[in-house]
């Protein structure tokens, strides 16, 4: 096994260990769980895949910097793909946030009070 493969294996084991610790801490048994509805006037955003998409963009950009030819700063294929995904994700997130803000400000949620 080469040093490179051993290093990647150690990083993978470390990531799995950290994820296991986070899962164990966040899913403790005996912790009271609140299932009540939020108070009136509190707005919760809807679930979104946009953080995952921006993380994918970060992985592509990081991979472009890591897996580059010797005479270049970054791998152009991975770098351009990462930048396209990053810009598309940011634009989509900003549009969604603006739409959500307008919906809340114009009272299209189930709050009885007018804004």
Residue-level pLDDT at 114? 47
User: Does 92 map to a domain?
Assistant: yes
User: Does 13 map to a domain?
Assistant: no
Asked if 78 contacts 64 with a C-beta cutoff of 8 angstroms, the reply is: yes
Asked if 65 contacts 71 with a C-beta cutoff of 8 angstroms, the reply is: no
Structural domain harbouring 76: 49-108
Please state, in angstroms and rounded to a whole number, the distance separating the CA atoms of residues 57 and 51.
Answer: 10
Query: CA dihedral in degrees (83, 19, 7, 86; nearest 10)?
Result: 0
Question: Around Cβ 89, how many Cβ atoms within 10 Å?
Answer: 20
Structure tokens of 91?
Answer: 């634009």
Q: Is the pLDDT of residue 56 over 60?
A: yes
What total of structural domains would you count in the chain?
A: 1
3-state secondary structure of 66: helix
C-alpha distances (whole Å) from 58 to each of 4, 35, 61, 83, 84 are 22, 35, 5, 9, 11
Q: How confident is the model at residue 115 (pLDDT cuts 50, 70, 90)?
A: very low
Please state, in angstroms and rounded to a whole number, the distance separating the CA atoms of residues 74 and 81.
Answer: 12
User: Does 5 map to a domain?
Assistant: no
User: Does 2 map to a domain?
Assistant: no
User: 4-8, 36-40, 97-101: which range is least confident on average?
Assistant: 36-40
> Can you give the length of the chain in residues?
115
């Amino acid at each position: 096994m080469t040093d490179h493969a051993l290093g990647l294996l150690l990083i993978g084991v470390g990531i799995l260990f950290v994820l296991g610790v986070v899962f164990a801490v966040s899913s403790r048994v005996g912790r009271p769980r609140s299932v009540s509805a939020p108070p009136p006037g509190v707005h919760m955003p809807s679930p979104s895949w946009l953080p995952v998409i921006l993380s994918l963009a970060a992985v592509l950009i990081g991979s472009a910097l890591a897996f580059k030819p010797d005479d270049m700063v970054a791998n152009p294929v991975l770098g351009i793909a990462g930048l396209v995904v990053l810009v598309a994700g940011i634009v989509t997130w900003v549009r969604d946030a603006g739409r959500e803000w307008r919906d809340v400000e114009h009272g299209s949620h189930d709050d009885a009070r007018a804004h």
